[in-house]
């Protein structure tokens, strides 16, 4: 019952109303997933620096926890614009920063700390509750950029908290994010294989393995299209999935095609969603919407 959405602006110079559009699509799908909502938005690049968002925790003294992170960052060069809002700390780091070392340094401070997103353009914001709650806390409708994905979640197998919410970052590969609706039936087999190679899992959500799998494939030199093609081969189950990188948006629909997914493409934009109502609600105009087909895979690139 989860809802997923994606939007790709073909022009606008990085100043399209990405946040407002993704939020409008999510609101139309709010009844599919009342447990949590989240967005992964791709803004304009910031002179090669990386944007980092860190989950401070689900409760407790978040201000004190933010101070812990701020103090730890003093040992890294090129850190700037540190701020906090809601459950997140946000800051910029220089492009030459060792991102794995930075992540390890932050997450070693407290078991509740988690680097939720990291990228030259990517920012993930998610929380429990409705899309309206997300907007009230983080004003995502004000964010501009080029493309993005969003998710509303109905929890069927795992906890309802910020970490288990979607989108998922790849936890390693900058700017890669996914949203997923469905079930990965060989999840436990894949998870054991990754854990044997030292990969850390942050949740019990089977969608997390999708981000890890795509990150592995792209890190080995695959394009996003090639990684999604291999996903059809290696990840069993019934699912629809959207994936985005710094310059791309793509989707894949599995062999069984039990999970709904519709799309439209015009001269101005591409929009993909679980239901047509999400596209129509956020994007008025004259265009046709069609159902994605069995094993269909599409990728758009800037």
Which amino acids are annotated catalytic? 2
Within 13 Å, how many C-alpha atoms sit on residue 185's CB side?
Answer: 8
Let me know: does 264 contact 276? Beta carbons within 8 Å.
no
Q: How far apart are CA 125 and CA 104, in angstroms?
A: 21
Identify any residues that bridge with 33 across adjacent strands, giving them in sequence order. Answer: none
Let me know: does 29 contact 275? Beta carbons within 8 Å.
yes
DSSP 44: -
The 3-state DSSP class for residue 37 equals: strand
Q: Is the peptide bond before 167 cis (omega within 30 degrees of 0)?
A: yes
Let me know: does 266 contact 294? Beta carbons within 8 Å.
no
Tokens for 192? 């054991």
Q: How far apart are CA 239 and CA 207, in angstroms?
A: 10
Q: Say which residues have a Cβ less than 8 Å from residue 31's Cβ, sequence separation at least 6.
A: none
DSSP 78: T
Let me know: does 217 contact 172? Beta carbons within 8 Å.
no
Q: How far apart are CA 4 and CA 24, in angstroms?
A: 12
Q: Beta-carbon neighbour count of residue 16 at 10 Å? A: 21
SS3 readout for 177-236: EEEEEEEECCHHHHHHHHHHCCCCCCCCCCCHHHHHHHHHHHHCCCCHHHHHHHHHHHCC
């Amino acid at each position: 019952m989860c809802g997923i959405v994606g939007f790709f602006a073909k022009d606008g110079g990085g100043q399209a109303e990405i946040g407002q559009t993704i939020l409008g699509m999510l609101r139309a799908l709010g009844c599919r997933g009342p447990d949590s909502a989240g967005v992964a938005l791709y803004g304009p690049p910031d002179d090669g620096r990386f944007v980092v968002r860190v989950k401070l925790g689900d409760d407790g003294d978040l201000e004190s926890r933010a101070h812990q992170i701020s103090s730890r960052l003093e040992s890294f060069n090129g850190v700037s614009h540190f701020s906090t809002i809601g459950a997140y700390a946000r800051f910029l780091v220089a492009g030459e920063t060792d991102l794995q070392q930075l992540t390890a340094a932050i997450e070693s401070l407290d078991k509740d700390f988690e680097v939720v997103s990291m990228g030259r353009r990517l920012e993930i914001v998610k929380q429990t509750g409705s899309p309206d709650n997300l907007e009230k806390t983080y004003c995502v409708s004000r964010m501009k950029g080029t493309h993005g994905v969003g998710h509303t979640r109905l929890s069927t197998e795992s906890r309802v908290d910020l970490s288990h919410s979607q989108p998922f970052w790849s936890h390693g590969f900058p700017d890669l994010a996914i949203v997923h609706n469905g079930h990965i039936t060989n999840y436990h087999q894949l998870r054991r294989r990754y854990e044997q190679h030292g990969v850390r899992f942050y949740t019990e959500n089977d969608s997390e393995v999708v981000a890890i799998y795509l990150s592995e494939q792209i890190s080995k030199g695959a394009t996003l299209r090639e990684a999604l093609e291999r996903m059809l081969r290696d990840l069993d189950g019934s699912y629809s999935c959207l994936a985005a990188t710094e310059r791309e948006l793509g989707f894949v629909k599995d062999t069984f095609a039990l999970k709904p997914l519709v799309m439209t493409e015009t001269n101005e934009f591409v929009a993909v969603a679980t239901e047509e109502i999400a596209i129509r609600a956020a994007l008025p105009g004259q265009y046709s919407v069609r159902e994605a087909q069995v094993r269909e895979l599409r990728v758009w690139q800037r």
